[in-house]
Structure 1
Amino acid sequence: MGRNTRKRRTPLATKIVAGAAALAVGGGGLVWANFYASAHEDHGGHNRTRSAGAQVATIDCPDVGQKIRDVPDRARGEVDGELATMDSQITNAYQRLATTRRAQAGDSQFVQNSILGPLKDRRKAIIDRIQLEINRAGGKADDNLDELAGCQGRPADQQNGGGQNGGGQDGGGQDDGQNGDGQNQDDNGNGVAGPVADDFVDINDVQPNSRNSRNGLAANGDGGSTGTFVTDCGVNENNLFNSDNLIAAPGVDNGAHHTHDYVGNQDNDAFSSDEDLANADTSCQNQGDKSTYYWPVLRLQDGTQEFDANDQGGGAEGNIGKILKPAQAELKFVGSQQGDVVAMPKFLRIITGDAKSFTNGDANANTSWSCSGFEDRQVTDKYPLCPEGSQVLRTTNFQSCWDGQNIDSANHRDHMAFVQEDGSCPEGFQAIPQLQVRLAYDIPTPTVENGQVQNPYAVDSFPEQLHKPITDHNDFINVMDEDLMNEVVDCINRGEDCQ
């Protein structure tokens, strides 16, 4: 299995090699030890508690990119490049955190003095450059961005057995990542940070209709524009993989720090221009759809050495195991409950979900995990354990309200919005066809015994996000030709089901 050949032409933004020194590896992955953390959510009585004095498990940094507004167009590339460098700094700091546990045990101030303090200084330098670039381009940078320079160490959750945390002060504590029998407890024996047993739930234990999510509402309903349009673009039969993100980090190699599946457009990497996308081949059956649809891969952590086992974005950043392609990828566009939809502009970019939602919080999270045959039971911060014969499902409803002007925005979110509870768009936004992505996977059900999970599956993630299911996300760039987009809109507004 191979990834696409990258083009090495000069991008608009200065190319940033967002690499980080690989950790000592076991099977190509980040070495991890006995520490983990998990987001909190109640699923039919399945609550978790946090210990007050747990040792630092990961690094929690304010997301500067989410706070930036009104970046002049000519500064966008430079700002995106600086933000990607900041992500790389977090990755490096996290890797240092994960490989210095013994030093931390001997010095209660090690994390603060050797990891978090220097990281704050480096982030402050980048924030200063971002402010300068915005002001030089005629904008007005937020003077308060400096407040986002500092990061914190996030403590591990209460252990379900295994290692005993010691002092737990500023990342200290007497814990070398082993329990009494000398074995790591919470890396499942695979050498990487997560997922852990607490990240999984038996779908039978999830209460029907209990999902609590502000985002991801389905746009269509009984009224308004009730048609649908399905585009069949396959399941990445061409093995198009890379760890770039053309929307969030254009011109940046390994800007995502995790590997994506791509369907649709076949010329999608960090260096693809709109012209490249328009002239590319497509895996979609309708050749008028050259849109790009991409999402982080799922992997089965079974010891398989994938093509990227030693690469940045892959095993060198903790994303290890067999890449699992969907058995089915359904891409469907639906209408609005409140009326007709209008055409999407060509090259409109939409990011839904938040790849950093474990540390950012769930304000932009948009995850939905379930099992076939149990689709009335949806979970957001757990991976489902499905019964034999049932597929794991990932479902995403994209934002479907557009500001009517911009194909992108400085934080890649403000030009789009979700529908409100009544299905209408916020003031100043208009309804466009809503993309709904349903991915179905044939995955052997992991076993959970004695607080450990065997052969878990997990979504690729930034290293410090610990493969948490709430970090799942999805990306789309509209590259339909005008005739096809008009057909999509007409079909939906007429209430027909088309493909």
Structure 2
Amino acid sequence: MKRSINRPARIAMAAAVLAATGALTVTFVTSGGNSTADAATSLDQYVPIQQVQPNVRAPQAGPDAATGRFTVDCGTNGNGKFSPDNPVAQPGIKNGAEHVHDFVGNKAITANSSNADLDASGTTCRNGDKSSYFWPVVRIDKSVRSGEQVKQALARTQPMVVCPSVRDRLPAVPASAGRRVSQVLAELDRLTADANRAMTASRGRIDTRLNKKILDGLRERRATLIRQLGRGLVSLVDCDVSYDGMHAAMHGASHSAATPVANPQIQCPTVRDKLPGVPQPAVAEVNRNLDELDRQISEANERLVSSRADVGNAVLGPLRAKRVAVLDRIGIAIGRHTTRPQGLAELATCTVNGAPAAPAPSPSAAASALPDPQGPNLELPGNTGGIVRPAQVLIEYRGNAAGQVVPMPKFLRALTGDAKPTSRGPANARGSWSCSGFGDRLSDKYTICPTGSRVQRVHDFPGCWDGANIDSDNHRKHVAFADKATGACPQGFRAIPQLRITISYDIPRDVQMKGQYALDSFPEENHNPFSDHDDFINVNSARTMQRIATCINKGRNCS
């Protein structure tokens, strides 16, 4: 089916989001307060940029403003690091994004990467910045399903709650704490099961109010429990609602088993959740070795991306030998103080994009499992067509109109926009679409640019930080956007270098006019342009980040 710029809505649910902008008139069909919608008119998801009114206004710089700018060149993903992982919003969940991201900067990053893994990685950035910057890819696809197919698929889908697995991300558990930790993990599983029972009330439809009620309550209870397990686990608190069932309902088997998997990734059995209670004198040594196992996987993944090495001889074999040695050290460390655990060597063998030789993951993690990106276009169900490589990616750290900036902390996580404005509501979504030469306007629709102008996505990240945390239980509360009128940060927050990523594309104008380019997305969004988003983990050294802040505070332009 050819896409037409005047076609009916691809997805009726997007009406709720687009109506919020005042761009069109829709009729909402609600039932019992549910946030469902049906379109009463045609929804154009593409707009000529000339029809977008100027809406970007920078606050006037005050006497103490930081007016400088620091740019970083990390390339345009020329090394081809694509992944459906989202290490910021869905840590530990393989293929959690359900769509493919472009990654630049950090070469080793996956959903399971620790801070130490990130710090040990190589980078595509010319100045040595090991930060990870990633966003959904754009594709050109000249034949897409109708909005009716999407509604029918949704009608047959049971939404599920998906939570990051805690048990396989824990540090070594001291024997004295083993019983309590087991109780907490069991309670986390029970909370997820209860949430999924509650989700049956929204089978066949998207109910944003119910989603919010369930997720907010679940987050609060998980945060209380996870705090009992120690520091550094806040990133694992937040859960999400998944509509994975829509994939099968719309597409069935998208690829044959013989289709080669694109972008291979190392899969190894988890070790942290297989250890017994560790004697207290051995905890520090066991943790060092667990971290070493993580780094080995990151190094192997980086080799796969960087060299496209033969996975059997050049990567998997050496990796197994290294894992055997580390697992042996773990056994020896525990065995000095109690009975040495048996069977650890069985966890040494890894695979590439296949199920590791280990017990199945927890139900909450398994719920997110999807096929790996496949074929030359790295396709996933619902996200098909050729990927458009960016023509240019501009990464800028910018100042603050109200005052000086402080360096952002290493390993700070941040995101901008919202990948799920349909199922979670549009509060965090941001218009990001523009065209080169039209920097004074952003749209929540895909833009049609004049001849000679590039399609652009402009992603502004929060420029304020709470001064204490590198992440929070919803991945947002530890950072904030400055006031639009004054540039001032909210009370209790400090201005940091504000990240802006501008991605430019050379998309043929006839493709733009026909509405044939679109964003990878979750299935319920169906390529909604308002679901655009961007994620970031700061892995700049303290010295580099101080240099960035100094440049900005002195009003310079640096790189």
TM-score bracket, shorter-length normalisation: 0.5 to 0.7
Alignment partner, residue 532 of structure 2: 472
Give the SS at the match of 2:76.
Answer: coil
Cα distance in 1, alignment partners of residues 61 and 88 from structure 2: 30
Cα distance in 1, alignment partners of residues 426 and 41 from structure 2: 23
- Aligned match of 2:107 in 266, 269, 279? 266
Structure 2 stretches of 5 or more lacking a match? 3-7, 145-254, 264-369
Matched residue type, 1:237: G
Q: Deviations over 1:119-166 (max 9, x none)?
A: xxxxxxxxxxxxxxxxxxxxxxxxxxxxxxx99573331254xxxxxx
Structure 1 stretches of 5 or more lacking a match? 1-25, 27-31, 55-111, 113-149, 161-196, 212-216
2:409 is the alignment partner of 1:345: yes
Cα distance in 2, alignment partners of residues 285 and 256 from structure 1: 28
Alignment partner, residue 231 of structure 1: 72
Matched residue type, 1:356: K
CA contact (8 A) 2:62 2:403 kept: no
Alignment partner, residue 446 of structure 2: 383
CA contact (8 A) 2:118 2:539 kept: yes
Q: Deviations over 1:403-431 (max 9, x none)?
A: 01000000000000110131111111111
Label 1:206 to 1:348 Cα distance change in 2 as closer, same or farther (>3 A).
same
- Aligned match of 1:324 in 388, 408, 411? 388
Label 1:34 to 1:284 Cα distance change in 2 as closer, same or farther (>3 A).
closer
Cα distance in 1, alignment partners of residues 410 and 59 from structure 2: 21
CA contact (8 A) 1:241 1:259 kept: yes
- Aligned match of 2:118 in 260, 277, 284? 277
C-alpha displacement at 1:203, in angstroms? 1.5
Matched residue type, 2:39: D
Cα distance in 1, alignment partners of residues 60 and 553 from structure 2: 11
2:130 is the alignment partner of 1:290: yes
Label 1:442 to 1:361 Cα distance change in 2 as closer, same or farther (>3 A).
same
- Aligned match of 2:554 in 472, 475, 494? 494
CA contact (8 A) 1:301 1:455 kept: no
Matched residue type, 1:368: S
Label 1:432 to 1:317 Cα distance change in 2 as closer, same or farther (>3 A).
same
Give the SS at the match of 2:491.
Answer: coil
Label 1:428 to 1:222 Cα distance change in 2 as closer, same or farther (>3 A).
closer
2:505 is the alignment partner of 1:441: yes
C-alpha displacement at 1:454, in angstroms? 3.5
How many residue pairs match? The answer is 326
C-alpha displacement at 1:249, in angstroms? 1.2
C-alpha displacement at 1:221, in angstroms? 3.8
1:209-248 equivalent positions in 2, closer than 5 A: 209-210=54-55, 221=61, 223=63, 224-248=65-89
C-alpha displacement at 1:303, in angstroms? 6.2
Label 1:270 to 1:151 Cα distance change in 2 as closer, same or farther (>3 A).
farther
Alignment partner, residue 521 of structure 2: 461
Label 1:329 to 1:279 Cα distance change in 2 as closer, same or farther (>3 A).
same
Matched residue type, 1:407: I
Alignment partner, residue 308 of structure 2: none
C-alpha displacement at 1:325, in angstroms? 1.6
Q: Greater RCO between the two (CA within 8 Å, min separation 6)?
A: 2
2:463 is the alignment partner of 1:400: yes
CA contact (8 A) 1:219 1:334 kept: no
Label 1:307 to 1:457 Cα distance change in 2 as closer, same or farther (>3 A).
farther
2:492 is the alignment partner of 1:428: yes
Cα distance in 2, alignment partners of residues 447 and 244 from structure 1: 28
C-alpha displacement at 1:369, in angstroms? 1.1
C-alpha displacement at 1:204, in angstroms? 2.1
Q: Deviations over 1:36-55 (max 9, x none)?
A: 34333588xx842224559x
CA contact (8 A) 1:385 1:446 kept: no
C-alpha displacement at 1:219, in angstroms? 7.7
Q: Deviations over 1:462-485 (max 9, x none)?
A: 110121111111111000112211
C-alpha displacement at 1:460, in angstroms? 1.1
Q: Deviations over 1:321-347 (max 9, x none)?
A: 111121010001011112211111110
Matched residue type, 1:477: I
Label 1:34 to 1:343 Cα distance change in 2 as closer, same or farther (>3 A).
closer
Give the SS at the match of 2:546.
Answer: helix
Cα distance in 2, alignment partners of residues 205 and 307 from structure 1: 42
Cα distance in 2, alignment partners of residues 34 and 293 from structure 1: 29
Give the SS at the match of 1:439.
Answer: strand
Give the SS at the match of 1:475.
Answer: strand
Label 1:328 to 1:219 Cα distance change in 2 as closer, same or farther (>3 A).
farther
Give the SS at the match of 2:36.
Answer: strand
Label 1:445 to 1:337 Cα distance change in 2 as closer, same or farther (>3 A).
same
C-alpha displacement at 1:445, in angstroms? 2.6
Label 1:454 to 1:484 Cα distance change in 2 as closer, same or farther (>3 A).
same
Alignment partner, residue 475 of structure 2: 412
CA contact (8 A) 1:267 1:280 kept: yes
**Normalization by structure 2: what TM-score?**
0.54
Alignment partner, residue 48 of structure 1: 24
1:247-262 equivalent positions in 2, closer than 5 A: 247-262=88-103
C-alpha displacement at 1:235, in angstroms? 0.4
CA contact (8 A) 1:218 1:397 kept: no
Cα distance in 2, alignment partners of residues 430 and 459 from structure 1: 33
Give the SS at the match of 1:489.
Answer: helix
Cα distance in 2, alignment partners of residues 410 and 260 from structure 1: 23
Q: Deviations over 1:369-421 (max 9, x none)?
A: 11112222321x21111122210011111101100100000000000011013
Cα distance in 1, alignment partners of residues 510 and 424 from structure 2: 28
Alignment partner, residue 199 of structure 1: 45
Cα distance in 1, alignment partners of residues 78 and 143 from structure 2: 23
RMSD: 3.2
C-alpha displacement at 1:359, in angstroms? 3.4
Cα distance in 2, alignment partners of residues 346 and 34 from structure 1: 41
Matched residue type, 2:435: C
Q: Deviations over 1:282-340 (max 9, x none)?
A: 000001x1000011111111369997699457644311111112101000101111221
Q: Deviations over 1:70-92 (max 9, x none)?
A: xxxxxxxxxxxxxxxxxxxxxxx
Tell which structure's C-alpha radius of gyration is larger.
2
Give the SS at the match of 1:253.
Answer: coil
Label 1:307 to 1:425 Cα distance change in 2 as closer, same or farther (>3 A).
same
2:140 is the alignment partner of 1:300: yes
Cα distance in 2, alignment partners of residues 349 and 35 from structure 1: 31
Cα distance in 2, alignment partners of residues 361 and 41 from structure 1: 12
